[in-house]
Structure 1
Amino acid sequence: MRNYFHYPVPLKSSIIVFSRVSNHQKQLRFALVCFLLTILHVNCEAHDGYDLWLRYSPLPASTADTYRSAIKGWFITSQSPTANIVRDELNRALPVMLGNRVAELRSPTTQQQVVFGTTQSPLLSGLASELAGLAADGFIIKSTTVYGKRSWVVVGSTEQGMLYGAFHFLRLLRTGNNLSDIKSSPRTKVRVLNHWDNLDRTVERGYAGFSIWDWHKLPDYIDPRYYDYARANASIGINATVLTNVNANALILTPQYLQKVKALADIFRPYGIKVYLTARFSAPIEIGKLPTADPLDEKVQQWWRAKIDEIYTYVPDFGGFTVKANSEGQPGPQNYERTHADGANMLAQALKPHNGIVMWRAFVYDNKVPVDRTKQAYNEFKPLDGKFLPNVMVQVKNGPLDFQPREPFHPLFGSMPSTAILPEFQITQEYLGFATHLFYQGPLFKETLDANTFVKGNSSPVSGVVDGSLFNHQMTGMAGVANIGTDRNWCGHPVAQANWYAFGRLAWDHQLSPLSIAEEWVRMTLSNDPQVVSTVTSIMMASREAAVNYMTPLGLHHIMGWDHHYGPGPWISNKPRADWTAVYYHRADSLGVGFNRSQSGSNALEQYAPQVREIFNNPETCPEQYLLWFHHVAWNKRMKSGRTLWDEMCYHYQQGVDTVAWMKSQWESLSGKIDADTHAHVSKLLAIQLKEARWWRNSCLLYFQQFSRMPLPSGVEAADQTLEYYESLQFPYAPGIRPKW
C-alpha cells in the first residue's frame, strides 16, 4: 500500500565532506551516517496500521525457501485494469516475502511457475470444467502441468475470480500455509459494507475519525486512500459499498453529487466493487418539488424512474439502493398509508431494467405502537412475505433489538420463505465499547449464522437463510455497518480491523471458524511468531464474552448511556421514547429483573418456531445467556451454578473485569515481539478498557443492588464511588452521537 509518511533528507545538509579531516573523524561521521540511516529505516518500517492485513514482510528463511522451490516466477495471461491490479499486488508482495528471485515472466515457460488468469485464456481453458460448479466469482488454485513442467495455476471464470484467487494465494503465503489444490466460491452474491457517512464527513456511530469520502474535493481530487480501500475490500471478497448514511440526505441524488459518486465508482470497478446509495424516501418532494412521495402516485413513480435512469448515465453498473423508511423519524410509505412492500417495489420496478436491487431495512419501530419493540419488525414484515419483487432484499439486523453484545437471532430469519433476506451485522462498535475496547466480533457473527431457526426441521441454521439454500433463493448477501474512518489505521482500535476482515471472510464463506479467521488476521497483520499468534488469538477469542459479562450478562440488554450509548446507564428513564430508555428493557424491581417475553409476558417468543419456543419459554430450559432477555427472574432464583441470580450476576460482572485484566497482562507479555508503536497503542487502549469495565461493573451492581437488597458475594470488588456519582457523569461530546433531525 502507499506509504503516506516520508522521511526526506535534504541533500545539502546531509552530504558529509570527508576531505581535510582525520581518519578518526571520518570513522565517527561514517558511524553517524549509518546510525541515522538505521533510524530512518526503522521509522519507515514502523507499522502504523495503514496497511491493514495487507502488510507484506519477509517470510522466515525456511518458509521462503520452500515456496521458492515450487515457484520460480509468475505470469498473468490477460491485460486489463483488473489484471493490472493483480500484477501490482504480486509485484508488491512477492519480492518482499520471497525475494526478488521470484519475478514476473514475459511468457509462460518450462520452469516451475504460477500462472494467473481466467478460463478465457487458451492456456487455461482446459480447466473450465473444474470451475463449472462454482459461483461466478469463484476460483481454483491447482497444481498442474504447464508447458511440460509442474506448476501452480490461480484461475477464475471471470477476472474478479482471478483477483480473489490472487489475494487468496498471497494469503496462503503470508500465513505460512502449504500450497494445495483449492476450490473456493462465495456463498453469497452481495457482500456489502454499509457506510453511515454523511455529506459533511461526519460518521454516524463512527469511532475512527471522519468519513474517508471527501465530498467537497471530489471529483477533482482523488485521495489515494480510495484505491487502498478498494484493494482491502477486494482482498476479502467484499464486492459492494453503500457510500452514504441510511438516515439519508436527498442531495446525494443530485447531479452535483452524482459526478462525485461516479469518480468513486470508476475507481472501484476494476476491483469488482459496485457502488450503492441510500435513497431518502421523501426525495421527490425535497429535490423533485413534487407535493407527495406516495409510492403509488404515478408522478412519483415517474420521477424515480427518471432519477434512476439519470444515475445510470453516471454509473453504468450502479448497484441500487439501501433504504431506511418509517423508522426513527425517517419518512417512508407508511406516511401515505402504504406498506413497506409498496415502497420497496416502486424503487425495484424502476431499477429492474438496469439489474439494480433494493435493500430495504427491516429495522423499524414506532414508539406509538404499544407492543414490545423487539416484535415490531416481525409484525410489520411477516405479513408482506411474498409481496416483494424479486430484486428486493429485506435487510434484517442479526438480532431483534439493535446490535447488542448478545441477542438471540432475529425471528424474521426463516419466517419469510418467499422473500430474500439480507442479514445486517454491526462492524462498528456502537454498543461494544466504541474504538477503545478490544472486541473481536467473529464469534458474535458466527453465533448468529449458526443459530438454528428450526423452520425446516432440526438443521435450519440462519446461514441457510443467508446463502439461499434453505428456501432456494438466488438473491443472497450479507451487509456490515462499516467501522472505517480517516484514522491512520482506518478503524480506531488496531484490533478493530479484524472485525472488518472477519465480516468479509464470513460473507464469502460462513463455514469458516472465528478462530481460524483470527489466526489469519494476526499472521497477516502482526506477526507469524507462534507466541504472538497464540497469545493474540486467545485474547481476541475471549474478548466478546468478556464484554458481555462486564456490560450485559445473562441476557440484560440496552442499558447503555443515553443517546451516545457510551458507558453504562441502567438508570436511564423519562426520555422522549420509552424504548430509548434502559428501564424499559431490564424492568428491575424488588422481585427480580428481566423482560418477560414468554407466553405470560409480551409473548415475543410466538414469532419463533415451536422448537425454539419450547426451549426458551421455560426459565428452567432457557439458556442462561438469554435468561433475562426472555424472563423476569427472581433475585434469589437458583442458577445452574447453585448460586442465586444476584450472586451469579455479580460474578459475571467481576469475571468480565478479570478477563480484561488478563487480556491486558497477556498483551504486555508480547513486548518486543510486536512493533513497539502497535504494542504501546493497544496497551493504552486495554488500560482504558479495564478502567471502563470496572466502571460498568461498579455502576450496574450499585444500581441493581437497590432492588435486590442483597450484599455483594465474596470475591466481587466493591465500588469506589457512589451510585449518585456514576449517574451524574455526562459525555456531551462522545463520538458518534446521532445527529438531531
Structure 2
Amino acid sequence: MLRLIIIALSVFGLAAPAQAEDGYELWLRYPPMERAIAKPYRDAMQRIILPGEPSETLSLAISELERGATGMLDRTPSIDEDAKGRGNIWLVSGSDNVPADTGIDLTDLAEDGYVIRTVTIGKTSGIVIASKSDVGVLYGTFHLLRLMQTRADITELNVSESPSVDVRIMNHWDNLDRYVERGYSGQSIWDWHKLPDYIDPRYEDYARAQASIGINGVSLINVNSDAMVLTPMYLEKTAALADVFRPYGIKVYQTARFSAPMEIGGLETADPADPAVQQWWAEKADEIYQYIPDFGGFLVKANSEGQPGPQDYGRNHVDGANMLADALAPHGGIVMWRAFVYSEHDDEDRAKQAYTQFVPLDGQFRDNVLVQVKNGAIDFQPREPFHPMFGAMPETPLMMEFQVTKEYLGFATHLVYLAPLYEEVLEADTYAEGEGSTVASVVDGSLQGQSLTGVAGVGNVGSDRNWSGSHFDQANWYAFGRMAWDLHADSEAIADDWVRMTFSNDPAFVTPVVDMMMGSREAAVNYMTPLGLAHLMATGHHYGPGPWVCDLGRPEWNPCYYHKADENGIGFDRTETGSDAISQYAEPLHDLYGDIDTVPENLLLWFHHVPWDHEMKSGATLWEELTRHYTLGVEQVADMRATWAGLEGLIDDGRYAQIAAFLGIQEKEAQWWRDSSIAYFQSISGLPLPDGLAPPEKDVEYYKAISHPFAPGN
C-alpha cells in the first residue's frame, strides 16, 4: 500500500518537466551531484524509516526524499520499518514517537517546527527529521534536501527550527476571469471554469513549491474582490483546491467583499451593526466550513480605493472586522483586515491616513483579527521608511504585508532582488519600547506579547511556464517564504541558497550572481526614486517614469503630490512645518527624521522639501547629487549586464539567453528613467547639469508623450 501511494504521488510534481531547464522546476531541481562529492550524501540516504502506514503528508515527505536522492545521487532509498546499520533517515511525527537515546526534545518547538539531527542508536546511525506534526516533518525534509542541493555538510547535523509567525500566506491578486492585477507572469493559475471537475497538476506543483519554503496559507483572489467567490458554485471550486493543498499544510483563505450581503445575499444593507447582516455572515461562515472544514478565514480590503466597507454606514474598522471575526470564531477562522486605507476626501498626507484611522482603535479588535499593514505607509515603493503603525498598536497584532510582484520595480523584466528590502524593514528599530524594538519583534509578537502573528506576500505566480515572468523573480517568491519563516534570516545567505538550487553550485557562477542580486535593489532605487523620492511612476499601470503627471482628479494619485518640485527645491515636507508625519514615529526617530542634517540621506526627500543648492554630505549640492544618483543607477545595471555576459556557458543556454535579454531591457529602461527624470526636474529647477554629466537624449516633452496604455497588470 505504501509503495502504491508513493508511486501515485510521483506522477505529479516537478519530477518530469515538459522542457529541460525552462524554469518550471523553480528551486526544486535535483540535478545529478558531482561524483567527487556524492559519497557522504549517498551514505546518508540508504533507507527511509517510517513504522506503519504513513499519512498523506508523510507520504509526500517520502516521495520528496526519493525524488531528491534519485535526481542528485542516482539512487532511490529503500523504505523500511526498522533501521539497519548506517544511512537511515527516520521520519518522526509526534513527540511520543521520537526514538529513544537520541536526546531529541520537541517540547519547545512550534507545532510545525522541526529538528534534524545526526544520531547513533545502538548499532544504527543516520538522520532524524522530527516534528510534533506531519507537516513539520515535510518542512524538515525540504530543509535536508536544501542542504544537499547547496552541498552543505550533513555528517553532523543539529538543526532546530520553528517559524517566526503563525500565518505565512501568499495573497493572490487574481480575478475570477483569470486576469491578475499587478501580475506580470501570464494569467491566473486558477482555472475557475474547469474547477472542480478538472484538477490541473500544476496546482500540486504550486503547493509543493510553497511547502518547500514554509508557506502555510493562500488567499486565492484579488483584494478588489468579487462577492461571487462566496457563492456555492465557487465554494465548491475552492474546496477542490483546498483538497489539493491540505496535505502540504496549506490552508485556503478567501477575500470577503464587504458588500456581499447585498450583492449575493439580497439584503438592503451591509451595515455591520445590522442584526440581519451579522446573521448573514454567520450563516455564510457555517456554509463555507461545510465545504472546507479547515478554511483559514477572510482577507478584507475595506474603505480604500473605492472598495465598500463599514465607514459607508458610519461605522469604523473595528465594527467591520469584529463582525466577520465573530462569524468565523466558532470555526477557528481568522480575519486579516488590511490597513491600506486612504481617501481622496481626506486632505491629510496619505502617508498618515492609516495610522490616524487605526491607532485610536488599538485594543478593540477581536482576538482572531490580524491587522495587515504594508511595509511602508505609501504603497510598496522602491524605498520607504517602515510603516509608523508598527509599534504604535501594542494591544493589536499587526501582520506584515510585503509585495513579491514588482508593481513599482520594473515588472518582470527588471532584476530587483527584494530580500534586502524585506530585511531593511524588519531590522528597522521602531523604538516603541525603547531601543531594540524592531519591526520584526512587533510582527513576531515578542515585543508586545501578541499570540496571533502573520506575514503576507502579494505574489506574482502566474500561468507562465517559469511561474514568475522571469527567472530572477522566482528568487523573490523563494526569499519571501524563507523570511516569513524566519524574520531574522540573512538576505545574502538566502540569495546564495537560491542561486545554488536554481542554477549551479559553481563558485565562478554563484559569487558574481549573488553580488548582482544584492546590489540590484539599490540600483533600482537610484534610477527610479533616489534620495527618498517616491511614487514617480506613470499612473495606472505604474510602468516607467511619470513625475510630470499633476492633473489627475485624485490628488494622491499624482506623482507631483509626492515630489512637490518647484523652482526652490524638491521633496515632501513631513516635518512639523509640513504634514507632521514625523509625529507618528517614536523618539528618537521623530527628531532624527525631522532634522535635515540628521535624516538619512536615502530618506531625505521623503521627509523634507530641500533647496536645490542644499549641501549634501558629499559636498555636492542636492541637484548634483540627485543627477549623479540617477546616472549611477544606469551604470549599476550596465555592470550587472556585463557581469552576466561573462557567465555564458556556466548554465543552460535557454535561461542564460532570456536573462541576458531582460537585462538589456532593464538597462534601456533605466536610461529612460534617468534621462526623463533629469529632463523634467531640470525644467523645474532651471539649473545646468553638473560638469561631465551626459545630457538626456531627448527633451522633456518627448518623454511626456510616451504612452503605454496596455502595460501588463494594469
- The answer to whether residue 343 in structure 2 is matched with residue 369 in structure 1 is no
> Is the contact made by 1:532 and 1:670 (CA closer than 8 Å) also made in structure 2?
yes
Q: Which amino acid in structure 2 is aligned with residue 60 of structure 1? A: E
- For residues 383-406 of structure 1, give each alpha carbon's deviation from its aligned partner in whole angstroms, at most 9, with x where no partner exists: 000000000000000000000000
In 2, distance between residues paired with 1:429 and 1:262?
30
**Which of these residues, 667, 691, 700, is aligned with residue 723 of structure 1?**
700
In 1, distance between residues paired with 2:43 and 2:82?
19
Give the secondary structure class of the aligned counterpart of 1:383. Answer: helix
In 1, distance between residues paired with 2:615 and 2:214?
47
- The answer to whether residue 559 in structure 2 is matched with residue 582 in structure 1 is yes
- The answer to whether residue 113 in structure 2 is matched with residue 153 in structure 1 is no
Give the secondary structure class of the aligned counterpart of 1:269. Answer: helix
**Match in the other structure for 2:82:** 107
In 1, distance between residues paired with 2:256 and 2:568?
47
The structure-2 alpha-carbon separation of the partners of 1:127 and 1:245, relative to structure 1 and needing over 3 Å to count, comes to: farther
- The answer to whether residue 40 in structure 2 is matched with residue 66 in structure 1 is yes
In 2, distance between residues paired with 1:4 and 1:293?
49
Map residues 121-136 of structure 1 onto 2, 5 A cutoff. 122=97, 124=99, 130-136=105-111
Map residues 674-693 of structure 1 onto 2, 5 A cutoff. 674-693=651-670
**Which of these residues, 437, 454, 462, is aligned with residue 460 of structure 1?**
437
Give the secondary structure class of the aligned counterpart of 2:218. Answer: strand
C-alpha displacement of 1:296? 0.7
- For residues 42-66 of structure 1, give each alpha carbon's deviation from its aligned partner in whole angstroms, at most 9, with x where no partner exists: xx5x300000000111112232112
**Which of these residues, 46, 50, 56, is aligned with residue 81 of structure 1?**
56
Farther-moved stretch of structure 1 (79-88 vs 410-419): 79-88
**Match in the other structure for 1:569:** 546
Give the secondary structure class of the aligned counterpart of 1:505. Answer: helix
After TM superposition, the score normalised by the length of structure 1 is: 0.93
The structure-2 alpha-carbon separation of the partners of 1:415 and 1:203, relative to structure 1 and needing over 3 Å to count, comes to: same
Q: Which amino acid in structure 2 is aligned with residue 267 of structure 1? A: V
- The answer to whether residue 455 in structure 2 is matched with residue 481 in structure 1 is no
C-alpha displacement of 1:535? 1.1
> Is the contact made by 2:98 and 2:104 (CA closer than 8 Å) also made in structure 1?
no
**Match in the other structure for 1:659:** 636
In 1, distance between residues paired with 2:605 and 2:33?
49
C-alpha displacement of 1:709? 1.7
**Match in the other structure for 2:482:** 505
- For residues 25-58 of structure 1, give each alpha carbon's deviation from its aligned partner in whole angstroms, at most 9, with x where no partner exists: xxxxxxxxxxxxxxxxxxx5x3000000001111
- The answer to whether residue 320 in structure 2 is matched with residue 343 in structure 1 is yes
After TM superposition, the score normalised by the length of structure 2 is: 0.96
**Aligned-CA RMSD value:** 1.3
**Which of these residues, 363, 385, 388, is aligned with residue 386 of structure 1?**
363
- For residues 582-615 of structure 1, give each alpha carbon's deviation from its aligned partner in whole angstroms, at most 9, with x where no partner exists: 1001000000000000111100010010211111
Map residues 596-611 of structure 1 onto 2, 5 A cutoff. 596-611=573-588
> Is the contact made by 1:124 and 1:155 (CA closer than 8 Å) also made in structure 2?
no
Can you give the 5+ residue segments of structure 1 that lack an aligned partner in the other structure?
A: 7-43
**Which of these residues, 460, 473, 491, is aligned with residue 496 of structure 1?**
473
- The answer to whether residue 24 in structure 2 is matched with residue 47 in structure 1 is no
- The answer to whether residue 383 in structure 2 is matched with residue 409 in structure 1 is no
In 2, distance between residues paired with 1:319 and 1:578?
37
- The answer to whether residue 418 in structure 2 is matched with residue 448 in structure 1 is no
- For residues 240-264 of structure 1, give each alpha carbon's deviation from its aligned partner in whole angstroms, at most 9, with x where no partner exists: 0000100010000000100000000
- The answer to whether residue 145 in structure 2 is matched with residue 167 in structure 1 is no
- The answer to whether residue 233 in structure 2 is matched with residue 256 in structure 1 is yes
- For residues 326-383 of structure 1, give each alpha carbon's deviation from its aligned partner in whole angstroms, at most 9, with x where no partner exists: 0000000000000100000000001001010000000000111111000000000000
**Match in the other structure for 1:438:** 415
- The answer to whether residue 284 in structure 2 is matched with residue 307 in structure 1 is yes
> Is the contact made by 2:102 and 2:121 (CA closer than 8 Å) also made in structure 1?
no
Aligned residues: 699
> Is the contact made by 2:112 and 2:162 (CA closer than 8 Å) also made in structure 1?
yes
**Which of these residues, 56, 62, 66, is aligned with residue 30 of structure 2?**
56
Structure number, greater radius of gyration: 1
**Which of these residues, 637, 640, 645, is aligned with residue 668 of structure 1?**
645
In 2, distance between residues paired with 1:356 and 1:648?
51
- The answer to whether residue 165 in structure 2 is matched with residue 188 in structure 1 is yes
**Which of these residues, 271, 278, 302, is aligned with residue 294 of structure 1?**
271
> Is the contact made by 1:110 and 1:146 (CA closer than 8 Å) also made in structure 2?
no
**Which of these residues, 613, 622, 645, is aligned with residue 645 of structure 1?**
622
> Is the contact made by 1:119 and 1:127 (CA closer than 8 Å) also made in structure 2?
no
Give the secondary structure class of the aligned counterpart of 2:198. Answer: coil
- For residues 187-227 of structure 1, give each alpha carbon's deviation from its aligned partner in whole angstroms, at most 9, with x where no partner exists: 10000000000000000110100000000000001000000
- For residues 636-680 of structure 1, give each alpha carbon's deviation from its aligned partner in whole angstroms, at most 9, with x where no partner exists: 111000000000001100100000000001011110001100000
- For residues 55-80 of structure 1, give each alpha carbon's deviation from its aligned partner in whole angstroms, at most 9, with x where no partner exists: 11111223211222344332234511
**Match in the other structure for 1:360:** 337
**Match in the other structure for 1:696:** 673
C-alpha displacement of 1:88? 1.3
C-alpha displacement of 1:714? 3.3
In 2, distance between residues paired with 1:119 and 1:391?
27
C-alpha displacement of 1:123? 5.5
C-alpha displacement of 1:541? 0.4
Farther-moved stretch of structure 1 (94-103 vs 608-617): 94-103
Q: Which amino acid in structure 2 is aligned with residue 616 of structure 1? A: Y
C-alpha displacement of 1:99? 2.2
- For residues 143-162 of structure 1, give each alpha carbon's deviation from its aligned partner in whole angstroms, at most 9, with x where no partner exists: 11235222211111110110
Give the secondary structure class of the aligned counterpart of 1:610. Answer: coil
**Match in the other structure for 2:7:** none
Give the secondary structure class of the aligned counterpart of 2:38. Answer: helix
Give the secondary structure class of the aligned counterpart of 1:714. Answer: coil
In 1, distance between residues paired with 2:564 and 2:184?
30
C-alpha displacement of 1:185? 0.7
Q: Which amino acid in structure 1 is aligned with residue 656 of structure 2? A: H
Give the secondary structure class of the aligned counterpart of 1:498. Answer: helix
C-alpha displacement of 1:563? 0.6
Q: Which amino acid in structure 2 is aligned with residue 290 of structure 1? A: L
**Which of these residues, 95, 112, 117, is aligned with residue 92 of structure 2?**
117
Map residues 20-39 of structure 1 onto 2, 5 A cutoff. none
> Is the contact made by 2:114 and 2:129 (CA closer than 8 Å) also made in structure 1?
yes
| Percent of residue pairs bearing the same amino acid type | 54
Q: Which amino acid in structure 2 is aligned with residue 158 of structure 1? A: S
**Match in the other structure for 2:209:** 232
Give the secondary structure class of the aligned counterpart of 2:279. Answer: helix
**Which of these residues, 218, 229, 253, is aligned with residue 276 of structure 1?**
253
- The answer to whether residue 181 in structure 2 is matched with residue 207 in structure 1 is no
